[in-house]
């Protein structure tokens, strides 16, 4: 029996890691991403300055440490096929957040369906950074659908895309980049300069996966033509170069209007409307968005695994 190739071992591990996330989601305590976040917070206390140079050094140190460590581990543990597969499985489970994402969204949806607006407001910060205090039920439902769309890209497709391109180190390095963006990449007075490098690096790293998310959303949509039309027309209207791709495609796929005014507590943003001709979001659309997210995630797994195998094959032939 021939041993697994490096590409096949990664593919096997990625499928296993995806299955573990689908079954068990994220642990409540001790998640590797949370441990990275704690370490990054301690480092921030030492390096923070109100300038871009300090922020760039902070970003390079955090991401570089993860990438170098993952590469060393991949070369050490990955010398045996089963070791490569196990490492890929652990890394894939670590970086994926699709199951936790849809669980949180459905929890809020159940509260809204039961008329418990207070519970829905209390739970919304677990999903996104908006101020829920003045939001009504429809606005909360819209926030949930938009968060499901954006995080389907960030927590699932983007990570798998970098796994396809760079294997296990790509998976872990992208999660480090995306986590730093969530921590320091927003436009608050403290992070406007210090978080600039993290935000820009996340924009670059998320570019291919955001467009793949939109394409897969069109493929998984009940009405692909509507999803395609809204994505191609409105995807670039969003202030983020990447978030608008997934959100506009989801708007067309679910058949709802997204975007508009967002209140983050310390700032208010007036974003373009995505799918302006479509109907407003309702509570029932939360479940539709969650179902769509799971379909997109499954398609992303198949696409990126196949892409990784093909890329390794092309590299092997090119080297030969």
User: What's the mean pLDDT in 209-218?
Assistant: 97
Q: Quick check: 88 and 168 in contact, CB under 8 A? A: yes
Residue 133 pLDDT: 86
- Hey, is 267 helix, strand or coil? coil
Residue 80 pLDDT: 85
pLDDT digits (tens, 9 = 90+) for 148-200: 999 999 999 999 999 999 999 999 999 999 999 999 998 788 999 999 999 99
**29 falls in which pLDDT band (50, 70, 90)?**
confident
In the chain, the largest separation of any two C-alpha atoms, in whole Å, equals 64
- Hey, is 189 helix, strand or coil? coil
pTM of the model: 0.93
Torsion sign over Cα 282, 221, 20, 161 = negative
How many other β-carbons are positioned within 10 Å of the β-carbon of residue 229? 16
146 closest CA partner among 78, 240, 40: 240
User: What's the mean pLDDT in 116-125?
Assistant: 95
Q: Where is 281: in which H helix or E strand?
A: none
On the question of pLDDT at 264 being above 70, the answer is no
Transcribe 106-136 into DSSP letters: HHHHHHHHTT-HHHHHHHGGGT-----TT--
16 Cβ partners below 8 Å, 6+ apart? 85, 88, 89, 92
Residue 131 pLDDT: 81
Dihedral of the CA atoms 121, 125, 129, 131 (nearest 10)? Answer: 30
List the structure tokens of 170: 């790509």
170 closest CA partner among 41, 31, 63, 52: 63
What span, in angstroms and rounded, lies between the C-alpha atoms of 15 and 265? 39
Give percent above pLDDT 70 in the chain: 95
Report the mean per-residue pLDDT for the chain: 92
**285 falls in which pLDDT band (50, 70, 90)?**
very high
On the question of pLDDT at 274 being above 60, the answer is yes
What span, in angstroms and rounded, lies between the C-alpha atoms of 255 and 180? 33
What span, in angstroms and rounded, lies between the C-alpha atoms of 6 and 73? 14
List the structure tokens of 34: 């949370």
Name the E strands within the chain. 258-263, 268-274
User: What's the mean pLDDT in 241-258?
Assistant: 96
């Amino acid at each position: 029996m021939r041993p697994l190739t490096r590409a096949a071992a990664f593919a096997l591990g990625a499928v296993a890691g995806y299955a573990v996330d689908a079954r068990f989601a994220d642990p409540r305590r001790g998640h590797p991403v949370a441990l990275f976040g704690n370490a990054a917070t301690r480092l921030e206390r030492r390096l923070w300055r109100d300038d871009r140079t300090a922020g760039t050094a902070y970003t390079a140190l955090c991401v570089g440490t993860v990438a170098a460590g993952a590469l060393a581990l991949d070369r050490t543990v990955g010398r045996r096929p089963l070791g490569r597969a196990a490492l890929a499985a652990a890394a894939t489970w670590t970086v994926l957040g699709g199951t936790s994402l849809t669980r949180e969204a459905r929890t809020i949806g159940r509260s809204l369906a039961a008329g418990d607006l207070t519970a829905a407001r209390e739970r919304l910060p677990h999903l996104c950074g908006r101020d829920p205090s003045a939001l009504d039920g429809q606005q909360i439902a819209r926030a949930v659908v938009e968060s499901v769309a954006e995080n389907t890209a960030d927590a699932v497709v983007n990570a798998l895309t970098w796994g396809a391109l760079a294997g296990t180190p790509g998976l872990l390095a992208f999660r480090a980049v995306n986590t730093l963006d969530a921590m320091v990449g927003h436009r608050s007075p403290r992070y406007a300069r210090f978080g600039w490098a993290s935000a820009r690096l996340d924009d670059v790293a998320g570019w291919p996966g955001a467009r793949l998310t939109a394409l897969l959303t069109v493929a998984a949509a009940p009405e692909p033509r509507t999803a395609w039309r809204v994505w191609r027309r409105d995807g670039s209207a969003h202030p983020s170069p990447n978030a608008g791709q997934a959100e506009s495609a989801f708007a067309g796929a679910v058949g709802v209007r997204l975007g508009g005014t967002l209140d983050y507590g310390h700032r208010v943003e007036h974003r373009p409307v995505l799918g302006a001709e479509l109907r407003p979001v309702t509570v029932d659309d939360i479940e539709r968005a969650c179902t769509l997210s799971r379909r997109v995630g499954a398609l992303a797994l198949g696409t990126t695994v196949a892409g990784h195998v093909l890329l390794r094959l092309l590299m092997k032939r090119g080297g030969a």
